[in-house]
């Protein structure tokens, strides 16, 4: 929940101008709902993907204050973040709710960025793998293999989001490997290898390279660092060198 409309326009215009020739990595932005239409129009025809930060699981109805997937698709979005840690911790979204949203995303024809991750107390009590597996298993209930193969999964340890604390590359790599192995076991190697697994949690220009060289880290879900065009561009250009 950051920037003004003009600030958002300036940000994406800069990204569009500076990243025109970047073709070996995918780049996307996920603005607040009220900015989506304007920023989609600016980025139309560019390689930069536009996604929403959330959506409701119903297509329409008496859900005052909510936004449906049909609405965000109509204005030009192709992606949507589902289950971000702040949706889970602040707004009480359960694995069941997130599963309903994922089903709705695929039904509408959008592409989900499905977020999972543990809280600090869960890591300290060595429950990371159990928490992550439960979020995966319950979040992906009754999705087809074809749908699973279209996922982007973002591992974002809650204790590292907006805190300035980043999981070490080894910690991130360990959980990413656990996620990949879970996917292989449940859906087979062919499906599992199609899925991108991003790391999210205080990603910055000075730590992104060490994170991205981990074997199972396929990209980054960038938070606060994406609000400054120069900082975000630096992260993207670092990713192109991996």
Q: Answer yes or no: is 107 within a domain.
A: yes
Q: Provide the Cα torsion 89, 144, 52, 17; round to 10°.
A: 130
Exposure string (b/e) for 159-181, b if CB count within 10 Å is 16 or more? bbbeeeebbebebbbbbbebbbe
Sorting pLDDT into bands at 50, 70 and 90, what band is 166?
A: confident
| Domain with 117 in it | 46-159+166-240
Structure-token pair, residue 157: 């340890």
Active site (catalytic) residues: 84, 156
Q: What pLDDT was estimated at residue 159? A: 87
Is the pTM for the entire model greater than 0.85?
A: yes
Integer Cα distance of 219 and 172 in angstroms:
12
Tally of structural domains, the chain: 1
Q: Answer yes or no: is 28 within a domain.
A: no
Supply the CATH number for residue 65's domain.
3.20.20.70
Other beta carbons less than 10 A from residue 233's beta carbon: 19
**pLDDT tens, position by position, 194-212:** 999 999 988 999 999 999 9
Strand 152-155 with 111-116, pairing? parallel
Mean pLDDT of 153-166: 86
Integer Cα distance of 122 and 220 in angstroms:
22
Q: Answer yes or no: is 37 within a domain.
A: no
Whether the predicted pLDDT of 241 surpasses 90: no
Q: Answer yes or no: is 31 within a domain.
A: no
């Amino acid at each position: 929940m950051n920037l003004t409309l003009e600030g958002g326009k300036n940000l994406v215009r800069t990204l569009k101008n500076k990243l025109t020739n970047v073709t070996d990595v995918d780049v996307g932005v996920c603005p607040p709902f009220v900015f989506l239409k304007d920023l989609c129009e600016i980025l139309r025809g560019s390689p930069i993907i536009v996604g929403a930060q959330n959506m409701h699981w119903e297509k329409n109805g008496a859900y005052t204050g909510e936004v449906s997937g049909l609405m965000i698709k109509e204005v030009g979005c192709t992606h949507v973040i589902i289950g971000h840690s702040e949706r889970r911790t602040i707004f009480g979204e359960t694995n069941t709710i997130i599963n309903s949203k994922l089903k709705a995303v695929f039904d509408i024809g959008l592409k989900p960025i499905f977020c999972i991750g543990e809280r600090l107390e869960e890591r300290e009590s060595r429950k990371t793998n159990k928490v992550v597996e439960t979020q995966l298993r319950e979040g992906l209930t009754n999705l087809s293999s074809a749908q699973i193969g279209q996922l982007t999964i973002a591992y974002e340890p809650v204790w590292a989001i907006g805190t300035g604390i980043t999981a070490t590359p080894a910690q991130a790599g360990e959980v990413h490997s656990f996620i990949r192995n879970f996917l292989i076991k449940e859906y087979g190697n062919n499906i599992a290898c199609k899925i991108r697994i991003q790391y999210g949690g205080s990603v910055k220009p000075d730590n992104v390279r060490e994170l991205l060289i981990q074997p199972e880290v396929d990209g980054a879900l960038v938070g606060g660092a994406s609000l400054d065009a120069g900082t975000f561009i630096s992260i993207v250009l670092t990713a192109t060198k991996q």
